[in-house]
Structure 1
């Protein structure tokens, strides 16, 4: 896989996940920068991401785009450029940490409530519509079409839509599904459970084996690939109540594998990351 093509890959024949450089970058930042009040030298990113098959040009382009999106801040020290977190990226990284390590993949706390959100806005508001849909998907909502979205629990929508200025364009309700609602059909309509299950199965095919990715350069590469791939899955998982999940839901075994491999990789990965990082203090 070319370093320009968007994600990390190992040598030929190594089934490394194909992941976008920005996704890998966020995983790296969440594990080795978040909470340290530091800005990392650009050369450290380049050296570290080379082990993931991401070339220098792709790394520099990713850093520039993330600065433009408010996810990184530049800090110049002499002739060297360093990059540190912003309040926006810190919020995203804390959320990702929570999704990967603190929330279980099974929703065993459901009280049978659903949140229904309906929106209507002018056609010219394309950017706002796109932002709203992205935020709803991130928050576990699925689309029923015609501006109607559902989530399998009570959800406080206010922080999700904050800053979009949608007062008067949203309607939100919460409560149980009533007869004659066909809940299984509604779930199939709103959520791509087959696609999500296939994603979890691909994760298991790659990682549920005695020696995952044997051609990977080291455990830092494995750890970054694994946790990034898992976050991509749980970000799109609505965590349906267990009674609505298909039998043998593969996320359960996936989470077990993730935790087992974290215990195997984490210490070595951190040692390698610390050895490769050059930084300055900020804040």
Structure 2
């Protein structure tokens, strides 16, 4: 019983956990007890074993830090995780889902990595996708607008393998619409927003549509978590394509309006539930 992505599959427990920390811990220098997380996630249909294994994996991946208080274990965000979540927060609440301000420029990244560098290639492509790039052709990726590529690839150690250009304008026989439909799965992105609208068509009752039900006993805290996780998944899949080159009925604006409507509806009740349910301690940014 969780929200579903556009392909109909439930989000991973780690995605839910990151969303939860983004809502209730980002910017607060707090750590949350494992026991209270188990209780809350149990309401979302996530088992205790799944919560514990997710927390352990996130610690190993450098996303969470453990803090001991007596016999209790608490988990707080690492600076790395906080940066990722802050970026997601900014995309949701500031950047928005509809790009009405494109100035016609592109950022191009060309790269050629040794064949054996599969991990490095995967990391680079993941960074590019998250920052709005799509593959235009083999070894050449493109994003609308100006992207800070050095920041995007920071820490990967691949600078000497990259060729970066900005400000390019598509000219005949290439046009902007062709670039978008070549580098990005525009139809799939639209279907993602339409699916979001379908899942959340029942208002406060949670996701609607086949197989995407939220138990009637789920409170605002769980509904808020599922909503935010689901919406962030849509934002992640959308490279913020220029609205002027998309269909007139592009569903991003309607989906975003629905998200904001429900987010406001759940916010206060979810905050009150969290205050009752969460066992939190204050921690410093550096740890204990």
TM-score over 0.5 for the pair: yes
Contact 1:114 1:154 in 2 (8 A): yes
Separation in structure 2 between the aligned mates of residue 120 and residue 249 of structure 1, nearest angstrom:
35
Contact 1:9 1:52 in 2 (8 A): no
Separation in structure 2 between the aligned mates of residue 168 and residue 203 of structure 1, nearest angstrom:
40
Indicate whether 1:212 and 2:205 are aligned.
Answer: yes
Per the normalisation by structure 2, the TM-score is 0.90
Contact 1:206 1:212 in 2 (8 A): no
What's the CA shift string for 1:121-165, capped at 9, x where partnerless?
A: 111211111100000000000012311100011111000111111
Indicate whether 1:201 and 2:194 are aligned.
Answer: yes
Indicate whether 1:83 and 2:75 are aligned.
Answer: yes
Contact 2:3 2:226 in 1 (8 A): no
How far off is 1:281 after superposition? 1.8
Q: How many aligned residue pairs are there?
A: 272
What's the CA shift string for 1:150-200, capped at 9, x where partnerless?
A: 001111100011111113211111221122214323222211111111111
2:169 maps to 176
| Mapping of residues 247-266 of structure 1, within 5 Å | 247-266=248-267
2:132 maps to 140
What's the CA shift string for 1:19-51, capped at 9, x where partnerless?
A: 111111111101111122121110011001011
| Mapping of residues 53-92 of structure 1, within 5 Å | 53-92=45-84
2:23 maps to 31
Separation in structure 2 between the aligned mates of residue 231 and residue 166 of structure 1, nearest angstrom:
28
Separation in structure 2 between the aligned mates of residue 103 and residue 168 of structure 1, nearest angstrom:
31
List 4+ stretches of structure 1 deviating above 6 A.
none
Structure 2: unaligned runs, 5 residues or longer: 207-213
Partner of 2:66, secondary structure, is strand
What's the CA shift string for 1:40-83, capped at 9, x where partnerless?
A: 11001100101110000110111011001100001111221111
Contact 2:3 2:230 in 1 (8 A): no
Partner of 1:172, secondary structure, is strand
1:5 maps to none
